Structure 1
Amino acid sequence: MESSTNEYKMLKFMKMLVPVVGVGIVLTTVVFALSIATLVKVNKGFNDFQGNTIETTNPTNPTTVPVITPATIIPITTATTTTTDQPLPNPTLPTSINITNIMDHLSAFQRIATANNRNRAVTTTGYNQTLDYITNTLAANTNFNVTKTFFPIRQFALASDPILISSINGVTKTYTFSKDLSVADFTYIELSTRANFMAFVGISVIPNVGCSNDDWSNANPPVAGRVALVKRGVCAFSDKGVLAAQNNAAAILIYNDGVTPDRVQPMAINLGQENVLPALFLSFPVGQALADAAQDSSTNTGVQLVINLVDLPLSPVGNICADTPTGDATQTIVIGSHSDSVPAGPGINDNGSGSAANLGLAIALAKLFQTSTYPKYKYRVRFCWWGAEEIGLLGSDYHVKQAKNATDVGERLQDYLINLNYDMLGSPNYIFGIYDGQTANNDTPSHALPGSNKITALFRDWFIRQKLPWNHTDFSGRSDYGPFLFEGIVAGGLFTGGDEVKNQQTRDYMDQMLGQGMGGIAGALYDPCYHMACDSIQNINVFAFEKMVQAAAFMLENLARQDDLIQWLYPNGRPTRSNNESPQRKYDSINEYFGMPYL
């Protein structure tokens, strides 16, 4: 009997081990292969593109974009990397970008995460040290005016492990909860509300991926009063939560889509501060099995759900903004990136890369302004690092709401001309993604669209001139530009890809532009470590990262040299804004803001 028992234990262990090892091998292979490709490209140099013609169309992006004529573009100097801090004969912002220095910022973020439970999520010591690093680095390297503002967020903690039990035609099954997602059937979604469904509640499967009102209204049976079961994909998880609440679901179960081996297990996510529903994230096998059963009219399928929570005190989260000391404060260019990671990992690509790029731009500009050969800008530039993006764009949303109520010149929403957003700039299986203004949501204020489309086209022009491939990416407001765009502020930005799969067409197009073998891996995620523990410094494609920062530098310099940026961005005019609300009180410290005693 002992021998049989040992064989059984070994067999059970191997069944658990094989899928885990398999996923690890896939991730390691993808990242390693892309790293080798990057090193080959860097060693080859950037001058061996095949042919002398420049592709002006992208076969993977058939959508037309506005044509930006040469007269509207400030002359471009080819962006090459500088390796020293020696002054250039005719310096420009793109040629002043030093990728080594910017990678040093990423290394600092990695050290902070490593020393603090391997993450930099809001309300953690790792996050607070990230803010300290940003402010200290700005103080040491710029003469910009740095301000910090704080806002509260609500938080919950699990009082006990959640319970999920299904009943299919009277046969019950209890699923495994674990913080080790590789062995879990399901996990808790951050900011879920409480649940105590001791009786089985029916399931409604949401068609497609639950990203439109039509998906929810077409659910059969109707979702009202039932548990909504919806697959991951396309839109933000918080969007699915909002639609579930609007359709009166009793709870929401989101499950992984199984598209690739790393999209099988449950995923650690949150539904944002505004969520009002109990919520769990299921593995692909569990979610698909429940969906199959619930869609079979001959079965009676339901779930029991128990989520016990403890309310935590309101936690302060910070935004940082740094303003150039010169330039018209009533005509401000805002450049933003979020400073927080998810709890699952260090967040070096998402979004240490954007935070480091923002620091690199600010420091390079400050140094140029201190020279006698680089003219000051007509417009003020405000560099911002937003908090709590990962739990619902909270930092940027708070900033925009404060600006709507502000009366001080330079702090009002009417003083902002444009928001440029940089989120995930170094994905290993990258694309050179440009936010596509033509995919803005239908409720986007119309006066923000012409300028946003011009930003799309201007970024595209830079990549074409550099003989680099480019792709359009979605402009639906899923990152921190969203609150600005919703208020009618022109927006744009760059993105190297997240949890989407690179298709063969995109891979072949990049091969054509960059050289055979340089297009990455078709069928793999742009970032196989998206929102995972492996989003470390090794997850960064340095070649892609450098080009994205140079593109961001080009955009800032080009906009800042426009004679009339308002007319260029808003050819149809801007709406007149009035701020009738009483001015917001200014606080000297976080202690005063939250009414806490000084220690």
Structure 2
Amino acid sequence: MLIIGIAIVLGTLIVALSIVTLVKVNKKFHTTLDNSEKLTISSKAVHPSSDSVLDASIRIDEVMSYLNEFQRIATANNGTRAVNTPGFNATLNYIENYLTANTNYKITKTFFFLRDFVLASNPILISSINGAKKNYTYSTNLAIAEFYHVKYSTSANFSSSIQLTVIPNVGCSDDDWQKATLPPQDRVALVKRGICGFQDKAILAAKYNVAALLIYNDGESPDRVSPLEVNLAQDNAIPALFLSFTVGQVLVNAAKNSSTNITVQLIIDVKNLPDFPVGNICADTPTGDVTQTIVIGSHSDSVTAGSGINDNGSGSAANLALAVSLARLFRTSTYAKYKYRVRFCWWGAEELGLLGADFHVKQAKNSSIVGERLSDYLINLNYD
């Protein structure tokens, strides 16, 4: 109940911010239709009284019911609503069916496909420091694991020793990679977590032609010691593992002595599976200028290891509450229709790297259909 309570608070704040933004943009729209004008929304203006009618129409008990439903879906499906699970598919169906029953919006579900794989066997990681070998522990229990596989890593079979090079700082810039202890090309690069995303580190690793990438946790707090379950980009082409802070520091400390010979052996056996579909849902208000569209987005997937009630059930529930409340008001004769169109969206595969939103943007960039072009979007509000 504590988690759902926190989610309610977050959802309420999201709804309040959305209301202020919708009202302010609507007033702006009445003043000008100039696409070149930049819209600035001050955070000082965020308070729920900006539009008392829309604000009063939001029903917190409904937000709670959406959160409870997301939790029920997760509980019935092994505790998760991650993509490529029945829990995610049930979440999409729930959102789509609820919008169909309670709004007159145009609802669109689009699908894109992602890579899938399984590990054929547990990965192996062995280090050698001046001839002293250490075989590290792999486990799906991250509390006891010394390293873990990285999603979308490629296979590797380095049964012979390969030299290790340590990338200074956190490997987020060309300068870091150019100052490595040894040139990265054809070596295994060790990089610390921090600042930039894991995918950014992998892109730089590929640029410098590493044989493999080892990322290790930063140890800045007790919950940043164990290895993590992370993913690289769908098109990643290098093998990668994630190490605990303890293992990373052992290797880094050994590398500080230039006379120390550090090598690693690693084996990652990945079996590719058929691609799987992931869905986005968008719901458009039936009125308003389609060339002046406000997008309000949240993501519908959770991480594998949880139900995702805060991240991003709070955003998804708030988005659903606002969509339904606005639909009710638009059906009355007293609430003025907005001059712009509102598009409510629930993105898939955010937890794998913003993939659903990225797919939508790429489609919009390539579209020539009026109302579906990126140039038709006035502003995007993302609630994660």
Q: Which residue of 2 aligns with 1:119?
A: 80
Asked if 1:256 is matched to 2:217, the reply is yes
CA distance in 1, matches of 2:248, 2:57: 50
SS in 2 for 1:93: helix
Of the three residues 234, 237, 245, the one matched with 1:284 is 245
Alignment-mate amino acid for residue 159 of structure 1: A
Alignment-mate amino acid for residue 93 of structure 1: L
CA distance in 2, matches of 1:112, 1:237: 30
Q: Which residue of 2 aligns with 1:439?
A: none
Matches within 5 A, 1:303-322: 303-322=264-283
Q: Which residue of 1 aligns with 2:307?
A: 346
Deviations 1:192-226 (A, max 9, x none): 10010111111121111122222222212121111
CA distance in 2, matches of 1:242, 1:271: 9
| Contact map agreement 1:91 1:374 (CA 8 A) in 2 | no
Matches within 5 A, 1:352-501: 352-423=313-384
Query: What's the TM-score once normalised by structure 1's chain length?
Result: 0.56
Matches within 5 A, 1:206-245: 206-245=167-206
Q: Which residue of 2 aligns with 1:596?
A: none
CA distance in 2, matches of 1:197, 1:153: 27
How many Å apart are 1:294 and its aligned residue?
A: 2.1
Structure 1's unaligned 5+ residue stretches are 1-30, 39-67, 81-89, 424-599
| Contact map agreement 1:268 1:344 (CA 8 A) in 2 | no
The aligned length equals 351
CA distance in 2, matches of 1:295, 1:350: 40
Deviations 1:450-477 (A, max 9, x none): xxxxxxxxxxxxxxxxxxxxxxxxxxxx
Q: Structure 1 pair 332/177, CA: closer, same or farther in 2 (3 Å)?
A: same
Alignment-mate amino acid for residue 72 of structure 2: R
Q: Which residue of 2 aligns with 1:434?
A: none
Q: Structure 1 pair 92/207, CA: closer, same or farther in 2 (3 Å)?
A: farther
Alignment-mate amino acid for residue 141 of structure 1: N
Alignment-mate amino acid for residue 324 of structure 1: T
Q: Structure 1 pair 157/78, CA: closer, same or farther in 2 (3 Å)?
A: closer
Q: Which residue of 1 aligns with 2:35?
A: none
Alignment-mate amino acid for residue 231 of structure 2: N
Q: Which residue of 1 aligns with 2:296?
A: 335
Segment drifting more, 138-147 vs 169-178: 138-147
| Contact map agreement 1:205 1:295 (CA 8 A) in 2 | no
Of the three residues 30, 48, 60, the one matched with 1:79 is 48
Alignment-mate amino acid for residue 156 of structure 1: F
Of the three residues 128, 136, 158, the one matched with 1:197 is 158
Segment drifting more, 283-292 vs 164-173: 283-292
CA distance in 2, matches of 1:355, 1:275: 29
Q: Which residue of 1 aligns with 2:98?
A: 137
How many Å apart are 1:77 and its aligned residue?
A: 9.4
SS in 2 for 1:114: helix
How many Å apart are 1:295 and its aligned residue?
A: 2.8
Deviations 1:250-274 (A, max 9, x none): 1111111111111111111111212
SS in 1 for 2:48: coil
More relative contact order, 1 or 2 (CA 8 Å, 6+ apart): 2
| Contact map agreement 1:339 1:386 (CA 8 A) in 2 | yes
How many Å apart are 1:404 and its aligned residue?
A: 2.0
| Contact map agreement 1:229 1:255 (CA 8 A) in 2 | yes
Structure 2's unaligned 5+ residue stretches are 10-38
Deviations 1:318-349 (A, max 9, x none): 11000000000111111111111121222222
CA distance in 2, matches of 1:353, 1:173: 45
SS in 2 for 1:223: coil
| Contact map agreement 1:181 1:187 (CA 8 A) in 2 | yes
CA distance in 1, matches of 2:47, 2:157: 62
Asked if 1:174 is matched to 2:135, the reply is yes
CA distance in 2, matches of 1:327, 1:180: 52
How many Å apart are 1:417 and its aligned residue?
A: 1.7
CA distance in 1, matches of 2:163, 2:199: 22
Query: What's the TM-score once normalised by structure 2's chain length?
Result: 0.86
Alignment-mate amino acid for residue 237 of structure 1: F
Q: Which residue of 2 aligns with 1:469?
A: none
RMSD between superposed Cα atoms in Å: 2.4
Q: Which residue of 2 aligns with 1:107?
A: 68
| Contact map agreement 1:273 1:392 (CA 8 A) in 2 | no
